[in-house]
Amino acid sequence: MTKTRHFLQFSDLTAEECQHIFHRAQVLKRRHVSGELYRPLPGKVMTMIFEKNSTRTRVSFEAGMSQLGGHAMFLDGKSSQIGRGEPVEDTARVLSRMSDIIMIRTFEQNMVETLAANSRVPVINGLTNEYHPCQILADILTYIEHRGDIRGKTVAWIGDGNNMSRTWLQAAKLLGFKLQIATPVGYELTVLDGQDYGADCFAASNDPMTAARGADLVTTDVFTSMGYEGEAEARRQAFDGFMVTSELMAAANPDALFMHCLPAHRGEEVAAAVIDGPQSVVWDEAENRMHAQKALIEYLMLGRIDD
Ligand code: CP
Ligand code: NVA
């Protein structure tokens, strides 16, 4: 019996598997845009568990499953027994007997790991406090579409040492690019996976200009992630000077792209002139959540398909 594959962190995939998914996402995107129907998952069900808010993640998974011929079902913490304390192990056993794949957005990575350990079917991390691997699949797909291979390139992260930047770091090591990160003091990125991130893939400072210099892609995120709302005011003060502005973009390479996973706050972490400007690819990035995840779902459920 082949082992059930999950996508709980970016590093759960090999570099070769990532490249396959990026390629396959472009194939599926072309087919979708041309109106071709591709429905390899008739009768298959995805259960989606959301313990945090979402627009893109919910819609991209639900639309993606429908397009693949399957169905996606929404469960939230409050209205399900998850919110009343049913053990995650039991939830996993039950859900994986009635559905063919599970997606979960929650707080602790530990919960996702426990869910997967007790599931018969693939589990996808749709965001935890620690990681957001589906977003980085979409972001790199977007980079590839606009600029080609990301190997050897430099990505500047300006802002919080959070789930997004931690996932970028895993991707940098796996795919051979460099992450230059600038965080305010006290909000530095902490590495959780015990990996050794050498200077060829990671440079950290507290200075946005240092991070942006020579970058091929500049990216940021909200100052206050979901689950940290109580820190919002302190963060607003600590992140003063960390807005991605046109001046900051000018320190990057002339053809640098700007990305933001969204939702965005114009005038806080990014100036309107940047997110709505010519270097921004945020709408392609958002759309690519769906195409990248369709390729991921196909790979986890059906294995490698090359047609
Ligand atoms: N980027 C992202 O994950 O968006 P949602 O929170 O809307 O799902
Ligand atoms: N870092 C953000 C990403 C939102 C998509 C959060 O966790 O809220």
Model-level ipTM above the cut of 0.90: yes
What's the pLDDT tens digit per position in 119-165?
999 999 999 999 999 999 999 999 999 999 999 999 999 999 999 99
Bridge-based pairing state of the strands 154-158 and 101-105: unpaired
The tens digit of pLDDT for each residue in 272-305 reads 999 999 999 999 999 999 999 999 999 999 999 9
14 lines ligand 1 (CB under 6 A): no
CA of 154 to the centre of ligand 1 (A): 24
Whether residue 142 is annotated as binding a ligand: the answer is: no
Residues 236-247 as b or e (16 or more Cβ within 10 Å = b): eebbeebbbbee
Contact between residue 220 and residue 275 where contact means Cβ atoms under 8 Å apart:
no
Helices (H), 54-154: 56-67, 88-98, 109-117, 133-147
Our answer to whether residue 266 is catalytic in this structure is no
What predicted TM-score, i.e. pTM, was given to this entire model? 0.98
Work out the mean pLDDT of the chain and round it to a whole number.
98
Radius of gyration of the chain (CA): 19
Instruction: For ligand 2, atom 8, name the residue with the nearest CA.
Output: 225
Regions of the chain short of the pLDDT cut 50:
none
